[in-house]
Structure 1
Amino acid sequence: MNDTSSRLTGPVRVVGAGLLGASVGLGLRARGVDVVLDDASPANLNLAVDYGAGRASDGEESPALIVVCVPPDVTASVVLAELAAHPDAVVTDVASVKVAPMAELEASGRDISRYVGSHPLAGRERGGPSSGRADLFVGRPWVVCTRPDVSRASVSLVEALVLDLGATPIEMNTVAHDAAVALVSHTPQIVSSLMAKRLSGSSDAALALAGQGVRDVTRIASSEPELWVQILGANAPAVVEILRAYRDDLDRVLAALGDLDAPGARRSLAEELAGGNAGVSRLPGKHGQDRRFASVVVMVDDKPGELGRLFTEMGEIGVNLEDLRLEHSPGAQIGLAEIAVLPEALQRTIDDLTARGWRIAG
Structure 2
Amino acid sequence: MDSQTAERTAQLPQVTEPRNPGMALDLDWVANVQANTSAIERRAASLPGRRSVKKDYQAAWLLKAITLIDLTTLSGDDTAGRVRRLCSKARQPVRTELLDALGVDGITTGAVCVYHDMIAPAVQALQGSDIPVAAVSTGFPAGLSPFHLRLAEIEESVKAGAKEIDIVISRRHVLTQNWQALYDEMKAFRAACGDAHVKAILATGELGTLRNVARASLICMMAGADFIKTSTGKESVNATLPVSLVMIRAIRDYYDRTGYRVGYKPAGGISKAKDSLVYLSLIKEELGDRWLMPDLFRFGASSLLGDIERQLEHHVTGAYSAGYRHAMG
Task: Normalising by structure 2, report the TM-score.
Answer: 0.30
The answer to which structure has the higher helix fraction is: 2
More relative contact order, 1 or 2 (CA 8 Å, 6+ apart) = 2
The answer to which structure has the higher strand fraction is: 1
Task: Normalising by structure 1, report the TM-score.
Answer: 0.28
